[in-house]
Structure 1
Amino acid sequence: NGILQTDGYTGYQKVPCQAHALCWAHARRYFVEAIPPDLPKEDLLGSICKEAIERINELFAIDKEFAERPIRDFTIGRKNWLFSDSPKGAKASAVVYSIIETAKANGLNPFQYLKYLFEHLPDGDIQRHPEHLDDVLPWNETIQQNCK
């Protein structure tokens, strides 16, 4: 019912939505291709193409800070995770990925956080005392101090 963002493939025009939006990478490419190869650099400096490319680059910089970025590593790596061809493998992959990305989202060093978990969870008896799980969550003050 909302906006559908795609890469410009005409087949997507058949998908019902309020509006179609193209991705900035494809829009940027059109500006890059519009620059004549023999254009002197001094003529490029004040051009609309150069300004558009710079503004789109600024959007890319902002985008690196938000929701889509954390899943990019996962989508790039999924071909490498062939062990996830079973429900147990997929669940294990999802658990590890969630822990690492949650650590990153909370400003932690994922290696330090995993090391902390491996050192402290075996002694925690979380099964009988689930309230102790709060002590090892990424936003816990002790974790924040030890895993940056």
Structure 2
Amino acid sequence: MRMGIALSRSNMSNWVIQCAYSWLKPLYERMKKQLVTYEIIMSDETTHQCNKEKGRKPSSKSYFWMHRNGECEGAPIILFQYTRTRAGEHARKFLEGFSGYLISDAYTGYEKVDNITRCLCWTHLRRYYKEAIPLDSRKKEIPDSAGGKGRAYCNKLFSLERKWKKLSHEERKQKRIEQSIPVLNAFFWWAKSIKTNQESLNKALKYTLNHKEYFQNFLLDGRIPLSNNLSEIAIRPVAIARKNYLFSDTPKGAEANALIFSIIETAAANNLDPYEYLVHIFKSLPNVNFNETPELLDDYMPWSDKLPENCHTNKQKINDPEGS
């Protein structure tokens, strides 16, 4: 339409799907191969609607999973996966070959992933206690509630982490042993001692005690983040976009969406201009024999130093005195 040519939505959708499978999927698979070599992966999932899944109603819930690395290993890699269901088998298959720490919420599906140490998100736990704080008639928190006490324990851990932000991973681990463990011991003792009929508080306490081991696993390595916030930030654009496009019509379209989100979000996280990066990819890859030599794709990764200057954001150019 921008060129005065009327194109049907089906034609444009098919072009997007074809481009995603032909040029973006090879990059995606290369990124995935790199991702599972890391020792820390952060995961999350959100609902997605696909109208024409065989044997299912259009209103059935499908899912987008998001898997990414943390801040301590390599350049950012953010990958999305479309699946018909939320079965943990999908996470197990996607993360095959990964062995390390998996940061997530307490969804039991992640238990199917082999060779991992689960680390749960303290921000998620903090929300449970915040929701358990009673409010007065003016919607203000009533002081000295048990929910407020639980949140205060969570806040204390986050406060300590902020103090140690610039420490090495080894130093942070030692500080956690010295100062976080006493907070954890007091918190779990308190949670076990509370008796209440308040449904929301009971929910928070149960969540705490049922997953006590996983909530303490951040003590094992100073690189492990206390929260899964990076995942929630990474998956937010999908939730926002979903409000606009509402659904995918076909599974191929949903899978293409996952590929596109993966490339765009990884590009943005690496300080690239996603539009310019995609233009570069679509102009270049048709002339690259990456099927026989996959290593050639390394020059087109979002962190490659061989990308043209126009792919980088203005912010990066300003902050980089070398202009690289």
- TM-score category (smaller protein): 0.5 to 0.7
Larger proportion of strand:
2
Q: Which letter does structure 2 place at the counterpart of 1:17?
A: Y
2:321 pairs with 1:131: no
Among residues 92, 108, 111, which one is paired with 2:272 in the alignment?
108
Among residues 121, 126, 131, which one is paired with 1:8 in the alignment?
131
Using the TM superposition, give the Cα deviation of residue 80 of structure 1 relative to its aligned residue in structure 2, in angstroms.
Answer: 2.7
Using the TM superposition, give the Cα deviation of residue 113 of structure 1 relative to its aligned residue in structure 2, in angstroms.
Answer: 0.4
Using the TM superposition, give the Cα deviation of residue 82 of structure 1 relative to its aligned residue in structure 2, in angstroms.
Answer: 4.1
Aligned-residue sequence identity (percent) comes to 42
Rounded to whole Å, the distance in 2 between the matches of 1:139 and 1:125 is: 20
Among residues 8, 17, 21, which one is paired with 2:207 in the alignment?
17
Using the TM superposition, give the Cα deviation of residue 144 of structure 1 relative to its aligned residue in structure 2, in angstroms.
Answer: 6.4
Rounded to whole Å, the distance in 2 between the matches of 1:18 and 1:123 is: 54
- CA 1:87/1:145 → structure 2, altered by over 3 Å: closer, same or farther? same
Note the residue ranges of structure 1 that are not aligned, 5 or more in a row.
20-64
Q: Which letter does structure 2 place at the counterpart of 1:122?
A: P
Name the structure 1 match of 2:243: 79
Name the structure 2 match of 1:50: none
Instruction: Work out which structure has the larger RCO, using CA pairs closer than 8 Å and 6 or more positions apart in sequence.
Output: 2
Rounded to whole Å, the distance in 2 between the matches of 1:66 and 1:18 is: 22
Give the 3-state SS of the residue equivalent to 1:128 in structure 2.
coil
Name the structure 2 match of 1:95: 259
Instruction: Summarize deviations over 1:110-136 as a string: whole Å, max 9, x none.
Output: 111011101101111221221111111
TM-score for both structures, normalised by structure 1: 0.58
Larger proportion of helix:
1
Name the structure 1 match of 2:309: 145
